[in-house]
Structures are given as C-alpha cells and as structure tokens.
Amino acid sequence: MSGTRPEPAGNPVAHALQLARETLPPMHPAGRPFVAGGVAATLLARRFSKRLGLVGALATVATAAFFREPKRVPPPRDGVALASADGLVSLIEEAVPPAELGLPAEPRMRVSVFLSVFDVHVQRVPANGVIERVAYRPGKFLSADLDKASDDNERNSVLMRTEDGHELVVVQIAGLVARRILCEIREGDKVGAGATYGIIRFGSRVDLYLPPGSRVLVAKGQRTVGGETVIAELPALSEG
C-alpha cells in the first residue's frame, strides 16, 4: 500500500512536546534577561513564602508572554504594505514624516497602530526592500494613543525602499510605560516582508507612512496582525 504512513502513536510524551512547540510562540531574545531574572526572583521568594513564589512565577510567565514572537506568514501579494505591529488602528490621517529622516516636509498618509501591554510587541518589516536610513530621537513618554505622541515621544524611524521603488516609513514610538525601543536593522540591510526587526517594551505605537496614491485597506478601530494584515495597496509606478 503506497502513500505516507502516519507516525506511530507510541510516544505520547514526545507528541505532546511537539504540539507544545507548535502552539506556544517562541520568545524574542530581548526578553531572556527579564525572564531569567524572574525565575531567579521566584526561586528566592519561594524560600520565604510559597505565596510569593506563586506570584513570582505568574509574573515571570506574563513577562515571557509579553516578549512572545509568533511565527507569521506574509500574504503572497506584491505591491502592498503590511502591518508592522499587532494592535488597534488608532489613526488614519495625513502627516509629515519625522524630520530626522531628511524627507521633504510634505504630508503623507499615516496609519497608526496602538499596542496595549497585551499585544505582541515585536515590529515587523512591511515589505521586501532595502533599509535606507535609521534615525533615533529621544523624547517624552506620553500615552501612545494620543495624537501628539507621534511628535513628542521618544521614537525610532526607519526609511526603506521597496523592491518596486516605493518609500515606506515605519516609526516605533515609546508610550506611557514603554521606556526602551530596540531596532535590530541597519542602513543597507536587505529585509523581507514580515521579518521581525525590533521590539518596544510595555505599551507603544507604530506609525506607517505610505507613498502618495496608496489605497488604505484598513479602518480606524480595526485590529491588525503584524506581518499579515495588508494595510494598503501601493500605487503602480510609471515606467520610463
């Protein structure tokens, strides 16, 4: 009898471990020191009180969940910009990109996604392309869902050029609780759509600036899935 034989069910423990690996998302490396510290604190607290040990264990699990980095599969579509973050679309409006990128001071359509402390906090590349500039600017720590957070808060801005020649700007913005922005890409890097490029710790916002002529496909109040949700269709570039 031809065909693929099912794997023998003789090792339920190995099967359960395999299911766990496929179900539980991996953790971003930035979270390892925090989780390791939580484990150490939990073991120490347990020596004095089982209740404190339980609290420490729950806090450690919550920390590991915050730094989760689930696998994402970008849609097989060309000419689109994907969501760079999980969260809630809080603003769709025209705005001038961050001045530190050196772009013309002309408004572009901006889609802002707000991340609560319960959302996945890694940021993902919105399209295939090359990183042209990365610029960090210190600032305030206002609540990330406020309009002026884009202008006043600490931020890290990335300018990339897609394979089709479009300019996309992605901005990581710190929030009321977030105090650390991590960006792992550099100028000249070739990047793939949906790949993780950074993380913001504990509540934040991510702005995506689109080229003129883009057609936004999300609505305010909609939830996005980083690396999978299509934010906009990019305009066709004229030849010649």
Q: Note whether 57 and 122 are same-domain residues.
A: no
Instruction: Give me the domain span that covers residue 206.
Output: 80-233
Q: Is the pTM of this model over 0.75?
A: yes
Residues 58 and 84 occupy one common structural domain: no
Same domain for 117 and 226, yes or no, is yes
The catalytic residue positions are 204
What CATH number did the domain enclosing 176 receive? 2.70.70
Q: Is residue 75 part of a domain?
A: no
Do 63 and 25 belong together in one domain? yes
In a domain, residue 167? The reply is yes
Cα separation of the two ends of the chain: 59
Residue 23 and residue 139 in one domain:
no
Domain annotation covers residue 7: no
Q: Is residue 110 part of a domain?
A: yes
In a domain, 74, yes or no: no
Q: Is residue 87 in a domain?
A: yes
Paired strand residues for 158: 134, 170
Residue 239 lies in a domain: no
Q: Are residues 164 and 121 in the same domain?
A: yes
- Classified as helix, coil or strand, 209 is strand
Whether residues 55 and 146 share a domain: the answer is no
Residues 54 and 136 in one domain: no
- For residues 114 and 89, give the distance between their C-alpha atoms in angstroms, rounded to a whole number: 6
Give the per-residue pLDDT at 13. Answer: 63
On whether both 102 and 218 belong to a single domain, the answer is yes
168 and 123 in one domain?
Answer: yes
Nearest-angstrom CA–CA distance, 67 and 202: 9
Q: In whole angstroms, what is the distance from residue 74 CA to residue 44 CA?
A: 43
Number of domains in the chain: 2
Is position 207 within any domain? yes
Which residues have C-beta within 8 Å of that of residue 182, sequence separation ≥ 6? Answer: 30, 198, 199, 200, 201
Q: Could you read off the pLDDT tens digit of each residue along the chain, which spans 240 residues?
A: 444 444 445 676 665 555 555 556 677 676 677 768 777 878 887 788 878 778 777 877 766 666 777 888 899 888 999 999 999 999 999 999 999 999 999 999 999 999 887 888 889 999 999 999 999 988 666 555 556 566 667 889 999 999 999 999 999 988 665 557 888 999 999 999 999 999 887 668 899 999 999 999 999 999 999 999 999 999 987 654
Whether residue 139 sits in one domain with residue 191: yes
**107 and 224 part of one domain:** yes
Nearest 5 degrees, angle CA 48-CA 65-CA 173?
115
